[in-house]
Amino acid sequence: MHVDFGADEAIGTAPVDRLAALSAPAPMVAASTRAAAGSAAEVAAACQTIDDLVAAIGAFAGCGLRRTATHAVVYDGNPAARVMLVGEAPGAEEDRLGKPFVGPAGKLLDRMLAAIGLDRGAVYITNTIFWRPPGNRTPTPEETAQCLPFVERQIALIAPRVLVFVGASAAKALLGRAEGITRLRGRWLSYQASGLNAPIDAMATFHPAYLLRQPSHKREVWRDLLAIRAKLETA
């Protein structure tokens, strides 16, 4: 019965009154999130390599999701790749193995990449969030803000030719735009951030987990993939 409602994990021995937390004064919550994000920004800025970032994320205590996760899931693939993909958050398999996109959605992602001649040796894959949210719930804006400096620093260090936002969460977090994925996907966007020498060509597309539920949208994703391949051929 609990599982039917999405409660598939025991995360504590004592009951927690989460409604009480909702009535806590908002500025206090916002201030603690700002402090965590502020210190994340300082820690991330000090990282000079992806190995530094992996170590810094592993030691970062500013995101509560780490308490319920088995592993921090940072990246897979090749830090020298010209293509960088950013997904949403680790799921159960990712949490177990410590690697992004290794569950059912990841297997579909691998097939999508293979369709345009790419594999994990030719791409760098990360997520917007580094720890699995309990029960695979959607990450909160606070959790996203806490992890964002590390995602942005990864983009600056990898400096890919093409950035792919895999799903709405990554597109929203990194572009800071209000449009949904249906409007954002399928066109070239420009990703700009401090720490980058030049803007990066970016494409948003549907998440493979969504495609597993709605296979009819594979057609649009195929068009996005062809546009990415064409961009890489001319770059």
Interface residues toward ligand URA, by CB under 6 A: 87-91, 94, 100-101, 103, 105-106, 127, 209
> Which CB atom, from 62 or from 106, has the smaller least distance to ligand URA?
106
Torsion of CA 215, 221, 225, 228, to 10 degrees: -160
CB of 165 to ligand URA, least distance (A): 11
CB of 106 to ligand URA, least distance (A): 6
Q: Which residue is nearest to ligand URA (CB)?
A: 87
CB of 190 to ligand URA, least distance (A): 23
CA distance 42 to 47: 9
> Which CB atom, from 149 or from 167, has the smaller least distance to ligand URA?
167
> Which CB atom, from 114 or from 230, has the smaller least distance to ligand URA?
114
> Which CB atom, from 137 or from 196, has the smaller least distance to ligand URA?
137
CB of 205 to ligand URA, least distance (A): 12
> Which CB atom, from 89 or from 189, has the smaller least distance to ligand URA?
89
CB of 109 to ligand URA, least distance (A): 8
CB of 89 to ligand URA, least distance (A): 6
CA distance 3 to 188: 41
> Which CB atom, from 19 or from 94, has the smaller least distance to ligand URA?
94
